[in-house]
């Protein structure tokens, strides 16, 4: 079974929403600076309460790695690069 190292998140990248659940409109200028994705796996030292199934926003300038398994594309993001999360 595939397991991330400590402080690493495996995510499935998605298109960011234009409006949050609370009704906040996210302008296009912000969307170019952050990416959105769903957490698939977390490393063993998760200290922020991030869990598989949470959606995160992370910095586009973050050092990220990409890989593919069975035609699914994943991104590896460090927990420190997460800007926000929700369920």
Q: Residue 43: give the domain boundaries.
A: 8-86
Q: Is residue 31 part of a domain?
A: yes
3-state SS assignment for residue 28:
helix
Provide the CATH number for the domain around residue 22.
2.30.33.40
What per-residue confidence (pLDDT) applies to 19?
74
What per-residue confidence (pLDDT) applies to 80?
87
In angstroms, rounded to a whole number, what is the distance separating the alpha carbons of residues 58 and 81? 6
Q: Is residue 24 part of a domain?
A: yes
What per-residue confidence (pLDDT) applies to 32?
63
Lowest mean pLDDT among 13-17, 40-44, 58-62, 81-85: 13-17
Q: Is residue 1 part of a domain?
A: no
Count of structural domains within the chain: 1
What per-residue confidence (pLDDT) applies to 16?
61
What per-residue confidence (pLDDT) applies to 46?
67
Q: Is the pTM of this model over 0.85?
A: no
Helix (H) or strand (E) holding 30: helix 28-31
Q: Is residue 2 part of a domain?
A: no
What per-residue confidence (pLDDT) applies to 63?
63
């Amino acid at each position: 079974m595939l397991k991330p190292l400590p402080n690493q998140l495996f995510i499935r990248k998605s298109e960011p929403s234009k409006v949050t659940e609370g009704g906040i409109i996210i302008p296009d200028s912000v969307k170019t600076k952050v990416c959105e994705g769903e957490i698939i796996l977390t490393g063993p030292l998760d200290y922020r309460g991030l869990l598989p199934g949470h959606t995160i926003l992370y910095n586009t300038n973050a050092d990220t790695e990409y890989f593919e398994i069975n035609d699914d594309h994943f991104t590896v993001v460090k927990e420190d690069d997460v800007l926000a999360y929700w369920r």
